[in-house]
Structure 1
Amino acid sequence: MIEIPPQKHWSNLNVLIIDGQALVHTTIQAALIDANIKNVQSAFNSYSALRLCESCTFDMVLVAFDVKSDKDGFNLLEEMKFKGYITNTTCVVFLSADTSKSLVNCVVEMEPTDFWVKPLDKSKVEHRIKQILLIEKKLYDLRFCFDKEEYATAIYYAERQLKDESLVLYHPHINRLIGRSLFNLREYKEAQVFYEKLAKAYSYAWVQVGLAATLLQQDKMDEATTLTNELLQREDTKFATYDLLAEYHIAKENFQMGYEIIQEATKLAPRSIERNRKSWNLARLNHDRLGQYMATKNMSKYAKNSIHDSPVLQLNVIRSSIDLAATLPEAESNKLLANTERSIERLKSDFTVANELKEQLTIIDIRLMSLRRNKKVAEALIEESAASDNHSSFEDDLDKVKAYHEAGMWEKSMQILDRMKDEVAQDSFTGKVLTAYLEQESEERENIRYNPKELGEMASSHYKNKRYKPSYNFLCQANKLSPNNKNIVITILKVLAIIAEESGLTEAESI
């Protein structure tokens, strides 16, 4: 059995308070002293908090949303988790005067120990601190094992604690960890029985969500559908249920449904970088270029000053804007490209960024030249640049695929794409989506040589010259690349009506 280190006494706990308001520090410090906790440090901004974490391990962290510094509390908490300053055994209390639904959803996703609404009252703070520490003390062994992914041992400790009458107030917490441990051990049938039993005793949201998860894992769709439909009507379970359903449909390769669900979840908690990333990947797979563009914009916006912040995020916005511009009417496309070119200039104006992203920015210039119908300039840039099919990041390689394809160098494009397909792992949500996306890209780029705008122009030219069959064929290719474009569908129907009247429809055309 795993060796569990001894737990600190309350008086030896290290506590960090992160808030921009002196009154908040005074109130919490007074309550901590009354609770016999004296090792307390204060930080009034994110920079100071991170510096303190570099030199001290804190057992309790109280962090405000409105830190009033280079990061908000959400981004700070996320960075502290990422850097290992906060683990599952750290008490985390989130402080905020803002109780908007979107913020609360995002905070809940970070799984703090508690969430306090400001302004704070000293007597209530002292009571809540003692309550939290008592829970942590009682559950220390169980939490430690769960944190170390020793789920069987965690269940062993939990079942012993459930027999202790003095812990009756904490039974819901204990049962929740048992359920999660069973699920992580893939004991889905046993987990279902466990959650069904809990549902008779508790009305907690996590019980119903846990039950839904086990039903989905066992493909018990009648029961799962009935339950998830109910949970989507409840504010306290809607968010988690969307995530469950998205994961399920992606695992079943129902990517359109997964995308629709992810979009709804993102509306509830728009700050999640990971959820926006999922939305971005699914948008690409579902040919939703506007959705792809919006997802990259959200990632860039909400990552600002966070651990995720990077010029590459802005680079991805630029890339997705070029993808979108290739599907839009001339006036809209030119407007979007004008904004895109301003963004490119801002990146290039930063010497360090421009140097680090030199090859990526060259590829973007090539794509812009192709979209502006300067194919010869694009080809010359490819010949002059150092860009090649050398191994790069997924997004860098994908942009090279597009650049070569758009410049008419189709064989080169396919070579890189084939190599990329061999490099994507398929054992995760993202891996499954990207694998399907690359297969789709490979098929489409092998059979369709032009972007939707070019295909539309060629179809229009044939139509004006009464060559309706070629017009129809180009429109069908454009529709495959942009299935959400209603104008293309309407034009296809018009062309088919003319073909039907002149020569009748083939079996393929009449479908």
Structure 2
Amino acid sequence: MEKFPPVTPVDDLKALIIDNQGLVHDVVSNALKDAGILRVDSAFNAFHAIRLCDENVYDIVMIAFNVSSDKDGFHLFEELKHYQHITDKTTVVFLSAETSQALVNCIVELQPDDFWVKPLDKKRVTQRFQYLLNIRRKLHKLLCCLQNHDYSSAIYYAERQLTDKTVSEFHPRLKRIIGESYLALRDYNKAEAYFHDLLKQYDHAWIHIGLARALLRQHKMEEAESLLEDLLARDDTRFMTYDLLAQYYIEKEQFDKAYEQMREASKLAPRNIERNKRVWDLARLNHDKLGQLLAVQNMAKYAKNSIHDSPELTLNVLRTTVDVATSANGAEAEKLVKKVETDLIEFERQQGLDKELADQRAVLQARLLCLKNDKKSAEAIMKTKRPDTDGLSMEDNLDKMKAFHELGMREHCLSMLEKLHRQIAGDTFTSQVVDEYLKQESIERKEINFTTRELKEMAAVNYKENRFGPAYQNLKQALTLSPDNKQIALSLLKIMVQLNKKEPLNDAQIETAVKAAVLLSDDYLGPAQAAKRDEYVAQMNIAAQIQEKMTVSENLLS
């Protein structure tokens, strides 16, 4: 028979209150003492809280959102969980005077035992403590099973306690644990049936989410559609539903749809660094450079003073800004280059430069020199670099690969791509998204030898000299690298009108023209651009093909 550690007596429980307001400490500590908990520590900032957790094991932790200027409560909560100062057996209460939906969504993701809105009422606090301590005592064996990831035993103990009328007030929580345990065991068929039965009794958000997860894991999208529509309409389930859909589309390799869902989820719960990382990866895969920049800027913003904060994160913002500059026009590219140069000086001032950071900075400097058309100086830097990936992060290596490519050092570039495939092997999300991105990069770097900006400049020269065929190839490649760039699409149609005058377009060219015209079919086009689009479409007589393409796309989306 399985043995469990004994339940800790109430007077042996140890509590930690983390808040920057003395009044909160007074109210909560008095309520804890009324409940029989006498061992109470107080921390007025995150630094002190972490030091106390390093020295003690706490059974109860109270965390305020506004802890102090050194770290917000969300990141402190996340850090305490990461270092196992908070476990499944710890009773956690989150405190906040703010109740915005974005903050609530972020807190829900961390799954505290309770969320109290300040100002606190002593009588109410005492009642809630008694409630939480009862849960702790009654569910002791069950919580031990969850702590050990023994989900089969967790289901057994939860089902036993469901027959105990003295714990009827905890039944909804027990039922949730059973459903989530089925999902953790990957018994999706049983989970589906279980959540279906629960919906006959309750309308809790977690039941709907659990059912949706079970259906999507079995690829039952048709059965899940109406449920998903309802969940997206609810404030308490919307962002979790976006997460579910993103994962579903990733598994189906529909990365454009996964990107849309992940972006929406990130807007609703912006502090989640891992989700922003996924948005960043999906934006990269979908050639959305501005989306990449926004995601990595969010990561840097919300990671500040957290366990995710690092010099490399700041460096990644600079690298992504350079990526945007490679497809921008002359004036915009120049503005971005100046910003990176200024930010790089500040980065060096704050971080200093050890050998590793100095190497990474040199690669970034080479890319900046390429953008400034000083390829000779850039080559002098990159000729000292080898196409090795050892000891560097994926982002370090990607940046080096791009520098080699932008200088026409194709053998080094392709060698690094091959090594990068091996470097990221084994990571679940990366194997689904980043590996796909690397495959895409391998194809494009072999076939396309220039950046988007260089291809646009070459196309302009070729068009001016009436070399419409080469200009077409330049812009076709540019659109491959930047598939959402409407200016490139419009210029491509302009060139194809000239090609069509000399000789009727072939099937492949018509397909390219239709693709460009469909990109230009949304409502965000300016009047002048819309007029030009309509003029080019009429001259090439491809309106029917465009309508057919749009109808097919709409059917796929629905």
TM-score range, shorter chain: over 0.9
Aligned to 1:247: 247
Aligned-pair CA distance for 1:351 = 5.7
Aligned to 1:193: 193
Residue-by-residue CA offset, 1:138-173 (whole Å, 9 max, x unaligned): 112112211211011111111111111111111110
Aligned to 2:153: 153
After superposition, the Cα gap between the structure-2 partners of 1:349 and 1:385, relative to the gap in structure 1 and judged at 3 Å, is farther
Aligned-pair CA distance for 1:422 = 2.1
Aligned-pair CA distance for 1:81 = 0.8
Aligned to 1:320: 320
Aligned to 1:362: 362
Q: Distance in 2 between matches of 1:481 and 1:220?
A: 34
Question: Aligned letter for 1:410?
Answer: R
Contact 2:94 2:112 in 1 (8 A): yes
Aligned to 2:536: none
Aligned to 2:514: none
Residue-by-residue CA offset, 1:401-420 (whole Å, 9 max, x unaligned): 10111111111110011111
Aligned-pair CA distance for 1:108 = 0.9
Q: Name which of structure 1's ranges 415-424 and 190-199 shifts more when overlaid on structure 2.
A: 415-424
**2:95 aligned counterpart, secondary structure:** strand
RMSD: 1.3
**1:270 aligned counterpart, secondary structure:** coil
Aligned to 1:120: 120
Contact 1:363 1:387 in 2 (8 A): no
* Match runs of 1:350-499 below 5 Å: 350=350, 352-384=352-384, 388-426=388-426, 428-499=428-499
- Determine if the alignment matches structure 1 residue 227 to structure 2 residue 230: no
Contact 1:161 1:167 in 2 (8 A): yes
Considering Cα pairs closer than 8 Å and 6+ residues apart, tell me whether 1 or 2 has the greater RCO. Answer: 1
* Match runs of 1:14-33 below 5 Å: 14-33=14-33
Question: Aligned letter for 1:88?
Answer: D
After superposition, the Cα gap between the structure-2 partners of 1:340 and 1:221, relative to the gap in structure 1 and judged at 3 Å, is same
TM-score by length of 2: 0.90
Question: Aligned letter for 2:222?
Answer: D
Aligned-pair CA distance for 1:389 = 4.7
Q: Distance in 1 between matches of 2:337 and 2:354?
A: 19
Aligned-pair CA distance for 1:356 = 4.4
Aligned to 2:59: 59
Q: Distance in 2 between matches of 1:118 and 1:204?
A: 25
Q: Distance in 2 between matches of 1:262 and 1:435?
A: 18
Aligned-pair CA distance for 1:429 = 2.0
Q: Distance in 1 between matches of 2:273 and 2:5?
A: 35
**2:40 aligned counterpart, secondary structure:** strand
Contact 2:249 2:255 in 1 (8 A): yes
**2:63 aligned counterpart, secondary structure:** strand
Count of equivalent residues: 511
Contact 1:359 1:387 in 2 (8 A): no
Aligned to 1:98: 98
Aligned to 1:237: 237
Aligned-pair CA distance for 1:387 = 7.8
Contact 1:391 1:397 in 2 (8 A): no
Contact 2:63 2:73 in 1 (8 A): yes
Q: Distance in 2 between matches of 1:390 and 1:258?
A: 31
Q: Distance in 2 between matches of 1:7 and 1:352?
A: 51
Aligned to 1:284: 284
Aligned-pair CA distance for 1:431 = 2.6
**1:357 aligned counterpart, secondary structure:** helix
Aligned to 1:12: 12
Contact 2:141 2:157 in 1 (8 A): yes
Aligned-pair CA distance for 1:499 = 0.9
Q: Distance in 1 between matches of 2:243 and 2:59?
A: 30
Q: Distance in 2 between matches of 1:385 and 1:206?
A: 52
Q: Distance in 2 between matches of 1:414 and 1:427?
A: 22
* Match runs of 1:126-145 below 5 Å: 126-145=126-145
* Match runs of 1:43-54 below 5 Å: 43-54=43-54
Contact 2:322 2:337 in 1 (8 A): yes
Contact 2:424 2:430 in 1 (8 A): no
Residue-by-residue CA offset, 1:342-379 (whole Å, 9 max, x unaligned): 11111222463454411111110111111211111111
Aligned to 2:273: 273
Contact 2:389 2:416 in 1 (8 A): yes
Contact 2:394 2:423 in 1 (8 A): no
Contact 1:311 1:353 in 2 (8 A): no
Aligned-pair CA distance for 1:209 = 0.5
**1:93 aligned counterpart, secondary structure:** strand
**1:494 aligned counterpart, secondary structure:** helix
Aligned to 2:179: 179
Aligned-pair CA distance for 1:288 = 0.2
Aligned-pair CA distance for 1:249 = 0.7
Aligned-pair CA distance for 1:226 = 1.3
Contact 1:347 1:354 in 2 (8 A): no
Contact 2:65 2:94 in 1 (8 A): yes
Q: Distance in 2 between matches of 1:240 and 1:292?
A: 22
Contact 1:205 1:236 in 2 (8 A): yes
Question: Aligned letter for 2:74?
Answer: F
Contact 1:188 1:218 in 2 (8 A): yes
Contact 2:66 2:96 in 1 (8 A): yes
**2:433 aligned counterpart, secondary structure:** helix
Residue-by-residue CA offset, 1:474-498 (whole Å, 9 max, x unaligned): 1000000000000111111111111
Contact 1:255 1:286 in 2 (8 A): yes
Q: Distance in 1 between matches of 2:428 and 2:2?
A: 29
Q: Name which of structure 1's ranges 349-358 and 320-329 shifts more when overlaid on structure 2.
A: 349-358
Contact 1:251 1:429 in 2 (8 A): no
Contact 2:105 2:268 in 1 (8 A): yes
After superposition, the Cα gap between the structure-2 partners of 1:221 and 1:4, relative to the gap in structure 1 and judged at 3 Å, is same
Contact 1:348 1:354 in 2 (8 A): no
Question: Aligned letter for 2:82?
Answer: F
Q: Distance in 1 between matches of 2:494 and 2:352?
A: 53
Aligned-pair CA distance for 1:38 = 0.1
**1:94 aligned counterpart, secondary structure:** strand
Q: Distance in 1 between matches of 2:84 and 2:336?
A: 41
Q: Distance in 1 between matches of 2:351 and 2:82?
A: 29
Q: Distance in 1 between matches of 2:165 and 2:353?
A: 61
Question: Aligned letter for 1:86?
Answer: I
User: What residue ranges of structure 1 are gaps of 5+ in the alignment?
Assistant: none
**1:77 aligned counterpart, secondary structure:** helix
Question: Aligned letter for 1:296?
Answer: V
Q: Distance in 1 between matches of 2:289 and 2:420?
A: 21
Aligned to 1:261: 261
TM-score by length of 1: 0.98
Q: Distance in 2 between matches of 1:231 and 1:444?
A: 39
User: What residue ranges of structure 2 are gaps of 5+ in the alignment?
Assistant: 512-558
**2:161 aligned counterpart, secondary structure:** helix
Aligned to 1:88: 88
